[in-house]
Amino acid sequence: MPEALDIAGNTIAYDLSGEGPLVVLAHGMGDSRHSYRFVAPALVAAGYRVANVDIRGCGESSLGWDGYSRADIAGDLVALVRHLGGPAVIMGQSISGGAATIAAATAPDVITGVVELAPFTRKQSVAIGGLLRVKRYRAGSLQLGMTMTLGSLSAWKKYLDLAYPTKPADWARELGRIETRMSEPGRMRVLQAMCRTAPTDAGAQLVNVRCPVLIIQGALDPDWADPRAEGEKIVADLADGLGELVIIDGAGHYPHAQTPDQVVALTLPFLARTLTNA
């Protein structure tokens, strides 16, 4: 059973394991903390205390929140870090990458570093040329659009098929887990609400981040026509010297589940630098 943090009458579910400096893991929309099933144990084994979170409205966290923006999620993550006793590094994927940016900018006393996996951290625009040129981007945009507008679980599953260019060994079981959770009343509405949020709140905070940021993009991520260019723009919006971008060849939108060994190998040196005195 997960632990739970009460926030204004709602609950955030999380697993806490290990001893050492604190690392908080936050997944993307339509997912759960189980997406870090390969990364969390490796970080614990490396000597870290790991809080693996179901972000608001997802997994085993409660429904009925007032909002699902990156700023809202950031507030939850900061509250958890303070509850557990920081400082901490936050690893955030997709929508939670943007949330981690806001957390770092607004709570520099407890957030000492951020790892962003395939993050939505900047204002987005449709790349018309990319839609014509890049098949995976065109197909991913279509399935995400159908998910947002129709609340289609079938479209979401088709998007996930694109977002995992190669599948983890346990993918059939994991997809079944996702389908079961997303079939629960209210869960798809949360996904739709998150799809409708704009990452402009996170983009506005990039200039206020003062801690190191590691950005990890999958080269085959269908969410962008050019994932490298998106990562480079995030680095450019940070203060000089704070951002580092790494591209993982063959990975899609979920590098922590598709290529966990590479993500851990990139993360451990970053944690050693940013949590040395924690």
* pTM as predicted: 0.95
Cite the DSSP H helix spans in 62-186.
Answer: 70-84, 95-106, 128-133, 135-150, 153-163, 171-182
Position 129 scores a pLDDT of 77
- Phi/psi region, residue 59 (left: phi>0; alpha: psi -120 to 50; beta: rest), is left
DSSP per-residue letters across 186-241: THHHHHHHHHH--THHHHTTGGG--S-EEEEEETT-TT-S-HHHHHHHHHHHSPTT
Mean pLDDT of the chain: 95
> Which residues does 48 contact at the CB level (< 8 Å), separation at least 6?
18, 20, 21, 22, 23, 271, 275
pLDDT of residue 49: 97
Fold designation for 3-274: Rossmann fold (3.40.50)
Question: What integer pLDDT is reported at residue 278 of this predicted model?
Answer: 56
pLDDT tens sequence across 218-265: 999 999 999 999 999 999 999 999 999 999 999 999 999 999 999 999
Per-residue model confidence as pLDDT tens digits over 44-60: 999 999 999 999 999 99
Is the pLDDT score of 38 beyond 70? yes
